[in-house]
Structure 1
C-alpha cells in the first residue's frame, strides 16, 4: 500500500509492481502529481507547481526517458533585469550582477563560497552526524548571514537566493539544513548555482505528465479522492483507513510531506522522534503567478524574462513560454512572508500588484495579458505550502533519522527524505526507489523466515494477493 500519488509514491509503486508485488496507491486529491500540477491559462498550458530539472538529476531524467516524456532546454539568451532600491538595470548572462554598491559583488561571491565550503563537511545522507552538527543546527541561516555579510546589497541578494530555493526567509531555516541541501545537490559554488543547475530543462506537456504516465502503468490501481485517515498496525497486516476504503497490507509507504504526516492518525502513536518531525518541519510559502500574452514581447527588447528584485510581491520571475506555442508566459513567485501577506488579500488586488511588478521589469505591455492564473500552495489542503518542508533549527539533530527510519511496517518516502537532491523531483524519485527496496527486503525476509520462495510462493507478489479491501470506515 502506498499513500500519496506524487512522484515518490508512484515511483515506489512502480518499483514494487516491477518486482511482482501486489500494490495499491491511495491519493487524497482528485489528481496525481503531488506538487507538480499542469493547468491552463488563456488556452495555454502552464506549470502550476514544480517544473524544472537539471543534467545532474539522473533519476528523474532516466524515469522520464523510460516513460517517453520528452524534455526541452529552458535556456534563453538575453539580459536579466536587476532591481535594487529605486535602481533598475540589466545584465548579460555571463556578466556581473550590477549592485548599486560594487563591493557587494565581491562579498556575495565570498559568502556563497564560504557556505559551500562548510557544506563539504556535511554527510548528505546523515547531516546530523557532522562534527559541527550541534553548532550549525543550533542557529538560523539569518544568524550566519549577519555574521558574514556586512553589505546591504549582499544581504538582499543572499535573502533572495534563500527565498527562491526555500520559499521562506533565512530566519526560518537551520544552517545545518541548508548545508545538507547543498551537499545533497553536489554543487558547492553557491545557492544560486544550485538553482541554476537544477533548472536547465522542462518537460514537454508539463512535469505532471511524468506522474500521469506512472499512474497509467499501474492499470487502475490508483485510488483518487480518498484521504487516508488512520494507519493501524497491531500485529499482522497493517490496516489503512481512508475516505473511500479500508485496506489491509503487509507494508505501507507514506509519501506525504513531513508536515502532513501528523495529520494521519497512527495506532499505536508514532514514536516521539517521528511525531516531533511533523511538528518541526513546516512547508515553505509560495504563490506561483502566470501571465499569458500573445507573444513573449520582452524578447524583442533583448530580455530573457528573468528578474531579480528586492521589492515584491514578485521578486523573482522567469520566461515560462513553451516552444510548441506562440504565446508568451511570464511567471512570478511570491515567496515566504510575502506569500502569507498577499495570500490574505483579495485576488484582484494581488493580480494588479503582480502585473505591476512585471511592468516594472519588462515594460507596460505586461499590464495587459490575455489571461492570468495563480496557485497559492499554502491554500492547497493536501500540500499546505511549497516547495518543500523547511528544516528548522534543531530539526535534523533531534529528528533527522525519522525522515527515513521505518516504524514497524510503515515506511517513509517523499522529496524531503532524499539523500540526493533533497526537496526536488529527483529526490522524490530517489526516495520512492529506496522505500520500495526497504519494503521488498522486509517481505523477502518474511518469506525466507517461513521457508518459502520469495517469488514463487509469496502472497505479497502479484497473483498471490497481499492486499485485502475491508469495509469503509463509517465512523
Structure 2
C-alpha cells in the first residue's frame, strides 16, 4: 500500500507543489518544495557536490526535495576563500579537473564555469630524504627514468590496479583479503627495495589522499588508482598523478566552488542552511529527520556525507553492523591548503613549473595556481605535518610554509603579497580531507555496505563513487547514482 501511494503521488504532479515543510525553520533564504502533507519525497543531507547532484537529478524528475546543509553555504569540501589583504579568490578545497572527469565537466559547462590549464612547463622538484632534484614537469612521476627501481615499483602497483580490478567493488578482487590485510607502507616494502623507490611509491599515495602509508589499506589505494578513469578508460597512475593528461590538468577560473554555489542558487527553494542533521528515524514508510532547523519528513533520505562523519548522526532503528563498520572504519585525511600570492611567477624565470613533490617541511606537494590576475604557489600540508600544525598559531604556519617555498623555489618566495590558508581538520562538518580513507580490513569486512541502502536511507558522497572516488567527479557520480536508485523505487 505504501509503495502504491508513493507511486501515485510521484506521478500525479502534486510533488512539485511549493511550500514549507511543516515545522521547518527556513534559514539562509532557502525554501522547500513539499507535498501538502508536509512530507517530501526525498530529504538530502548535505549540500556538497554529491548532495546537490542528487537533488538536481531528483528535482528534474519532478520529485519534491529538501536539502539540509549544516553550514551557511553550499559546496562542502569544494570551497572558495578570499585572501585577507588583496581579496584574491583562492580554492580552499578541491581545485583540479582532468580527462575522463566528464560529470563535473558537464556541470561546469552548464553553469558557465570555465577552466584554465595548469602551468606545467620547465622542471618540477622531487624532494627525497637524500635531497632535492629537478625533473621534467612534462613527465609524470612514474616515468622518471633516473630514479631507477622506483619506476619498476610504480609499474608493479599499476599492474596490480589493472589486473581485472573490480572498480568500485574492491572487496571482490581475487586477492582482496591479502591486499586488504596490508597497509600501503607494507605493500610498498614488498614492491620496492631502495629508500628512494619506497619514498616515491609512498608519495604516489600520500599526494592525492594526504595520509601516511601506515594509515591506508593497500586494497583501498589500488582501487583509488583503478578508479581514475571511466567505463571506457581504465584508471592509471599516470592519469591520477599527472598534470598534462591527468587529474591536475586544469583548474576552474574563479574557483571550483562556483559550480556548487550556482547549483545551489538554482535549487534555492529546496535549500535549508544552518541545519545540521542530528537524527534520522524511520517507521511505516516515513523517515523523520531531526535538524537544528526543525524536524522534516520524507519517504526517502540521501545521506551525502563522507562515511567518516556520517556516523555522527543518530539512526533509529540502529544501523546494521556492516554499515556501522563502514562508519567506524573510514577516517578523514589530515590536510590544509596554503597559498602565497606573488607579483610575478618568479619560478618560471628559473625554468620551474611551480610543482614539487616529496618530503616537504611542512608542505609535501605544490602547484602553481592563478586567481584574479595574480600568480600563486599553492601547497598541501598533510598527515603528521598537518596534525602538528592543527592548533598552532596561523603566524607559525605561514612562517613555516613560506620558508618551505624559499627552500624549494628560492629567496624570492619570501616576498609575497598575501596568503590564504584553510585547515580542513578543524572544519566541524568535514573534519579533514580531501576524502574519507579506509584502513586495513575495512573494505573486505564491510565494503558491500558502502552503497547498500538501509531502509529508506541511501548513501552518496564521493567515497561511494565507482570512478573518481575522492574527487569532484566522483561526488557528482555518487549523487546521481543515489538519485537514480530512489527514482527507480518511486516509479
Q: How much does 1:235 deviate?
A: 1.6
Tell me what 1:126 maps to.
169
Q: Does 1:295 align with 2:312?
A: no
Identify the residue that residue 261 of structure 1 maps to in structure 2.
310
For residues 189 and 177 of structure 1, what CA distance do their matches in structure 2 show?
14
After superposition, what is the alpha-carbon deviation per residue over 1:45-68, rounded to whole angstroms, capped at 9, x for unaligned?
Answer: 110000111121111111211222
Alignment-derived partner of residue 387 in structure 1? 434
Q: Tell me the distance in 2 between the aligned counterparts of 1:33 and 1:159.
A: 30
Instruction: Choose from 152, 155, 159 the match for 1:117.
Output: 159
Alignment deviations for residues 293-327 of structure 1 (CA, whole Å, 9 cap, x no partner): 222222222211111232310121111123x51x2
Alpha-carbon displacement from aligned partner over 1:43-93 (angstroms, at most 9, x marks no partner): 211100001111211111112112222112113322212333463432322
Pick which of 397-406 and 368-377 moved more: 368-377
Matched residue of 2:408: which SS? helix
Q: Secondary structure at the match of 2:227?
A: helix
Cα distance change of structure 1 residues 296 and 173 upon mapping to structure 2, 3 Å threshold? same
Offset at residue 190 of structure 1 (A): 5.7
**What does residue 72 of structure 1 align with?**
116
Q: Does the Cα contact within 8 Å between 2:55 and 2:65 map onto a contact in 1? A: yes
CA distance in 2, matches of 1:103, 1:184: 25
Q: Pick closer, same or farther for the CA change 1:226–1:145 going to 2, 3 Å.
A: same
Secondary structure of the 1:422 match is coil
Aligned match of 1:15: 57
Q: Note if contact 2:226-2:236 (Cα within 8 Å) is conserved in structure 1.
A: no
The structure-2 alpha-carbon separation of the partners of 1:43 and 1:137, relative to structure 1 and needing over 3 Å to count, comes to same
CA contact (8 A) 1:36 1:207 kept: yes
Three-state SS of the structure 2 residue aligned to 1:185 is coil
How far residue 105 of structure 1 moved from its aligned partner, in angstroms, is: 1.7
Contact 1:296 / 1:321 at 8 angstroms: preserved in 2?
A: no
C-alpha deviation, 1:104, in angstroms:
6.7
1:37 matched to 2:79? The reply is: yes
Q: Is the 8 A contact 1:112 1:189 kept in 2?
A: no
Distance 1:192 1:289, change over 3 A: farther
Shift of 1:331: 0.7
Gap change, CA 1:119 and 1:88, over 3 Å in 2: closer
**Deviation at residue 370 of structure 1 after TM alignment:** 1.4
Residues 221-272 of structure 1: per-residue CA shift (max 9 Å, x gap): 1111110000010223111110012111110000011011110001101111
Aligned position for 1:337: 384
Aligned to 2:248, the other structure's residue is in SS state coil
Distance 1:10 1:73 in 2: 26
Match of 1:274 in 2: 323
- Measured after TM superposition, the shift of residue 189 of structure 1 is 8.0
Q: What is residue 346 of structure 1 aligned with on the other side?
A: 393
Distance change (3 Å), C-alpha of 1:415 and 1:269: same
- 2:289 aligned partner: 240
Asked whether 1:185 is paired with 2:234, we answer no
Inter-partner Cα distance in structure 2 for 1:242 and 1:258: 19
Give distance in 1, aligned partners of 2:396 and 2:160. Answer: 43
**Equivalent residues of 1:257, 1:389 under 8 A apart:** yes
Q: Which residue of 2 aligns with 1:105?
A: 147
1:215 aligns with 264
SS at match of 1:123: coil
Give the Cα–Cα distance (whole angstroms) in 2 for the partners of residues 262 and 354 of structure 1. 34
Structure 1 residues 52 and 340: CA distance shift in structure 2, 3 A: same
**In 1, Cα distance between the equivalents of 2:458 and 2:142?**
48
Residues 116 and 188, structure 1, Cα contact 8 Å, conserved in 2: no
**Is residue 186 of structure 2 the alignment partner of residue 143 of structure 1?**
yes
- Judged with a 3 Å threshold, the aligned counterparts in structure 2 of structure 1 residues 44 and 29 are, in CA distance, closer, same or farther, namely same
- Give, in angstroms, the shift of residue 106 of structure 1: 2.6
Structure 1 unaligned residues grouped into runs of 5+:
445-475
Counterpart of 1:458? none
User: Who is 1:91 aligned against?
Assistant: 135
* Number of residue pairs the alignment of both structures matches: 440
Aligned equivalents of 1:264, 1:37: Cα separation in 2: 23
In structure 2, distance between residues paired with 1:98 and 1:133: 24
1:311 and 1:201 map into 2 onto residues whose CA distance is 24
Partner in structure 2 of residue 225 of structure 1: 274
Q: What stretches of structure 1 move > 6 A for 4+ residues in a row?
A: 96-99
Partner Cα distance (2:199, 2:370) in 1: 28
Q: 1:265 to 1:293 in 2, by over 3 A?
A: same
Task: Indicate the SS of the match to 1:32.
Answer: coil
Residue 118 of structure 1 and its aligned partner are, at CA, apart by 1.2
1:98 Cα offset (Å): 13
CA contact (8 A) 1:91 1:98 kept: no
Shift of 1:192: 5.5
Moved more, 179-188 or 416-425: 179-188
**Could you say if the C-alpha distance between residues 309 and 397 of structure 1 is closer, same or farther in structure 2, counting changes exceeding 3 Å?**
closer
Which TM-score applies when normalising by structure 2?
Answer: 0.86
